[in-house]
Amino acid sequence: MASGQRPVTTAGRLPMEAHIFTSRHLRLTCGYTGVMEPALKRTFVRFSIDRLKLLASRIEDCLGRLTKQQVWARSNENQNAIGNLVLHLCGNVRQWIISGIGGAPDVRQRDAEFAARATASRPELAAALTTTLGEALTVLENLPLTRLGERLIVQDREVTVLEGIYTVVEHFAGHTGQIIFATKLHAGQDLGQKAVGRKQKAESSRQKAESRRQ
């Protein structure tokens, strides 16, 4: 984390060191070397895709429950609004997956993600997230499994494609939790997202079963 960045708050940014810890932990404690059976590789990529879809659906649900004022509300300048976090997730996914793995130009302006102040409406934020995630999922859906061990440099860090995907999913999950927590504070109600998650998991299982029968 570069010097001068703000400390982590409930709705703040997470240091990248936290996101890449688990992949390092796998190498150091479990002897993970990047060698995986094809079936396990497929499971990893499929799970990552499904998890990103689920998390994105929860963010979209949160945006639909809030006003524009609530989406951009902050208690102080050391915190980031929900809107900032959505822009930040779009930037992160685009840089790591669409650009880093997919090969598209890296046009990310990270500071702008946190400097924004009520610049986008709820529908615009939801559309940006949907578009970005759609592009990223296309990259993952078409990713040759042999590339998972390929090494990349993103944000001046050298990682494998597998570690890059893991980093994005973990980062996305962390900020989704922050968005859900902030939404509960604003809405003053339970969001009922566990039930939504179970329904999506059941639908995903049904689709996989049909695919195996074909």
pTM here is 0.75
Kindly report which listed range (106-120, 171-185, 197-211) carries the lowest average pLDDT score.
197-211
Q: Which of 177, 55, 65, 60 lies closest to 124 in space, CA to CA?
A: 60
| Model confidence at 200: pLDDT above 90 | no
Q: What is the pLDDT of residues 118-159, one digit of tens each?
A: 999 999 999 999 999 999 999 999 999 999 999 999 999 999
| Range with lowest mean pLDDT among 42-46, 101-105, 187-191 | 187-191
* Position 206 confidence tier, pLDDT thresholds 50, 70, 90: low
Determine the straight-line distance between the first and last CA of the chain, rounded to whole angstroms.
48
- Cβ-Cβ contacts under 8 Å for 201 (sequence gap 6 or more): 54
**What's the pLDDT tens digit per position in 35-67?**
678 999 999 999 999 999 999 999 999 999 999
Residues paired with 45 in a beta bridge: none
| Structural domains of the chain sorted by starting position, each given as residue range(s) with its CATH number in brackets | 35-213 (1.20.120.450)
Task: Provide mean pLDDT across the span 185-203.
Answer: 67
pLDDT at 16 over 70: no
Measuring CA to CA, how many Å separate 65 from each of 102, 123, 190?
A: 33, 12, 11
Residue range 11-35: mean pLDDT, rounded: 54
- The mean pLDDT value of the chain amounts to 84
Instruction: Provide CB contacts within 8 A for 64, sequence distance 6+.
Output: 122, 126
Report how far residue 8's alpha carbon sits from residue 199's, in angstroms, rounded to the nearest whole number: 33
pLDDT of 209 over the 70 cut: no
